[in-house]
Amino acid sequence: ADSVDAAWARAWIVTAAEVLAENRVALITLDREIGDGDHGENMDRGFQAVLEHLDGLADDATPGDVLKVVATTLISTVGGAAGPLYGTAFLKAALAAGSATELDGPALVAALTAARDGIVLRGKAEPGDKTMIDAWTPAVDAATAAVAAGAGVHEILQAAASAAEAGAAATEPLVARKGRASYLGDRAIGHRDPGAQSSALLLRAAEAAAGA
């Protein structure tokens, strides 16, 4: 069957931790422009903590169990705006995944949608507010279109990641209406939102973990 499983979920998080470590300085640089300069540090530290907690998971853990460990670890170790937002995203995705051992295309899209909805529930951002939602919403839309067109899980994640990257780039000309960057007014124009960028990195890691 065309699906992702717990091995994919673990590989996603291991890959995400690597990619966030590699992009630590780049994310700090983005957050220095329109925030307080800690986003790369927050994400790197948070995902290193997640790796430690993943080691403690039972061998028969489900994808939902993996996502729940990510959620609780991010909530407890990452401060600021991004910790609770990503924590809620992974918690809602875990709830959507339930106790299933495999997620097929529709279940995967349901989990991605739940993650995005969780960020909106928590942060109340709308598309165009120059936040991580500007990566997640096009990603969910692209994933929904892909599954409706009969795409498999890898193609769904590829579509989501590409849409998230385009969405992150599209935050550059925007004025921010949520988070620290909203205090800057027009001075945020010309800078990419760090959370949208880290969201695109996370979704590309999800695709990489699903293989070709």
Contact positions vs Mg ion (CB under 5 A): 31, 35-36, 38-39, 80
Residue 199's contacts (CB-CB under 8 Å, 6 or more residues apart) are 132, 135, 136, 139, 164, 168
Q: Which stretch binds ligand ADP (CB under 6 A): 7-15, 34-42, 99-107, 203-211?
A: 34-42
Residue 200 partner contact from ligand ADP, Mg ion, none using kind-dependent CB cut-offs of 5 to 8 Å: none
* C-alpha separations of 46 from 4, 74, 180 in Å: 24, 6, 20
Cβ-based burial of 99 (10 A; exposed 0-12, middle 13-18, buried ≥19): exposed
Residues 83-112 vs ligand ADP: string with x where CB under 6 A? --x---------------------------
- The single residue among 39, 68, 154, 204 that binds ligand ADP, judged by CB under 6 A, is 39
Report the Cα 121 to chain-centroid distance in Å.
Answer: 15
Contact 43, 71 (CB under 8 A): no
Asked if 38 is part of the footprint of ligand ADP (rule: CB under 6 A), the reply reads yes
Which residues of the chain form contacts with ligand ADP (CB under 6 A)?
Answer: 31, 35-36, 38-39, 42, 80-82, 85, 119, 123-125, 131-133, 178-180, 193-196
